[in-house]
Amino acid sequence: MSLDFTEFFKKYEAIIGEADKVFETVKAQSGDRVRCKEGCSDCCHALFDLTLIEALYVNHHFNSAYSGLERSRILDRADEADRAVHKFKRDMFKASQAGTSTEDILREAARAKVRCPLLDDDDLCALYARRPVTCRIYGVPTAIGGAAHTCGRSGFEPGGKYPTVFLDKLQDRLYLLSHELATAIGSRYRELGAVLVPLSMALLTSYDEEYLGLAAPKAEPKPDFSAALLKEPVKDEACGSCDKDSSACASCKEKSFSITIGGPDAGGKED
């Protein structure tokens, strides 16, 4: 079947539009504290994950926009970034197992820096018009789980009261849309709509029917021994032009089935 997510991409783009409006509203109320500009790539090193709908959207537009050598370069950067993200998450898990508090782990995650694979050599986004919601909100004060965050390059001072974007509500809408998509396509994976991946993995993943749970997993091919079992025993050269099988005479039978078990050197008897 052909996978067409157009309906859900339109709903996602409506959320994107609202996020852009919120950013502009907060920026207008904040004077010169919002200092986002072309070439500023602070947000392009932040560590965050994408919901299913965001990952599908970025993956679709990346595959549509890039091919050849340029595509390969971006995927190479994505592979490098994904390994760095995996290592960092593994370290965070170990810290959690060792008793480090959730607050400290989240604080460390907020300080983590991994270069986005879509950031080119000129510090410009290779997929700017299709960038995720988090990238669009970065630069104005945000709150996640009650904790406030601001861009380190902005003019917002710690402890000040500023218009704030509550990302929890925005994230809930993205989760709901992701679950709606998973239900609509009939995925057999109950938690598909809750999947979160870094942008690097969204670029590297093939979102085909098998990944999305629309097709049965491919089974490993089993060896077929039927041909070998039906194959005629190889005849001795002495049989010449005889067209009989090995059961036709005693000599063929003897030559075809003279198997030694153990052997005289091993103390056994030769049959």
Residues 139-194 pLDDT 10s? 999 988 878 888 888 999 888 888 889 999 999 999 999 999 999 999 999 999 99
Tokens of 40: 């500023």
Tokens of 249: 């005479």
What phi and psi, each to the nearest 5 degrees, are found at residue 184?
A: -65, -35
Instruction: Please check whether residue 81 is in contact with residue 116, taking contact to mean a CB–CB distance below 8 angstroms.
Output: yes
CA 51, chain centre distance (Å) = 11
Which residues does residue 49 pair with via DSSP β-bridges, in sequence order?
198
Closest CA to 213 of 185, 176, 194, 178: 185
Closest CA to 81 of 111, 116, 124: 116
Closest CA to 166 of 14, 15, 19: 19
- Predicted pLDDT at 79: 97
Closest CA to 132 of 186, 66, 55: 55
Rounded to two decimals, the pTM is: 0.77
- pLDDT beneath 70, residues of the chain: 1-2, 217-271
Q: Domain boundaries in the chain?
A: 6-204, 226-266
Tokens of 96: 């959690």
Instruction: Please check whether residue 88 is in contact with residue 47, taking contact to mean a CB–CB distance below 8 angstroms.
Output: yes
- Predicted pLDDT at 220: 64
